[in-house]
Amino acid sequence: MKLTWLGHAAFRIEITDAVILIDPFFTGNPKFAGDVASAARGVTHIVLTHGHGDHVGDTVAIARETGAKVVGDADLIGYLSRQGVANGDPMNSGGTVDEGPFRVSLTVAHHSSGSIDQNGVVHSLGSPHGVVIRAPGERTLYHAGDTDIFSDMALIDEIYAPKIGILPIGDRFTMGGKVAAMAARRFFHFETVIPGHYATFPLVDATADAFVSGMEGSGVDVLVPAVGEVLTL
């Protein structure tokens, strides 16, 4: 598996026969380096955790250009289909969908999901989720989406046994680094953990220092990639 952090909560995952973008927020993302075409090159699937603009991001444009399948909450996929996404795959919390090269499952997350368009119309975009990616020959990956800590994370670990975790650490809109480290240590058996959803805007934490400090002595491999850095996991 090759994994690239593209800023904020956006990640590119490359596995055999699939290239997956999770929450492809590029346009308007001050930490995104490069261009959208390069980030989306070869993409086969887009997986969305929830409907906020800093997560849906460039989904519609990328899906139109590439034909990538868009996977996510049923209400969100219904909304995006009306925006021009032709190849949507709706699901909901607790469900698993076989995408061929991998299986994707949605889990509970504690956050919100919705948008207000330029006309002031409020759109309900379903529920927020975490995402579990399971592919043959690869370690299971859990992207927690935007969330606070919650004790049922222990059930996510029991059901899916993820070995790679991506946790939000930016505080204010999600759990902060100290609490994210508590979640990783108390509820999961990660081998590798990666922070996300930070250093994007002034309102969220600028560094991963609190998370890294909180993980000291855990025995978990904590990776803090630069934006655009490719990790082989």
Q: Order of strands across the sheet with 2-5?
A: 88-91, 69-73, 45-47, 18-22, 11-15, 2-5, 230-232
Give residue-wise pLDDT tens across range 160-196. Answer: 999 999 999 999 999 999 999 999 999 999 999 999 9
User: With a threshold of 0.75, does the pTM exceed it?
Assistant: yes
Beta bridge partners of 164: 141, 192
Beta bridge partners of 64: none
Which pLDDT score, from 0 to 100, does residue 167 have? 99
Mean pLDDT of the chain: 97
Residues 104, 133: contact at Cβ < 8 Å? yes
Give residue-wise pLDDT tens across range 106-161. Answer: 999 999 999 888 788 888 899 999 999 999 999 999 999 999 999 999 999 999 99
Cβ-based neighbours of 145, under 8 Å, separated by 6 or more: 9, 23, 49, 50, 55, 109, 111, 128, 129, 130, 131, 168
Nearest-angstrom CA–CA distance, 38 and 42:
9
Query: Residue 24 carries which side chain, given as an amino acid letter?
Result: P
User: Domains plus CATH for the chain?
Assistant: 2-224 (3.60.15.10)
State the Cα torsion 134-135-138-139 to the nearest 10°: 0
Burial of 172 (0-12, 13-18, 19+ CB in 10 A): exposed
Residues 4, 23: contact at Cβ < 8 Å? no
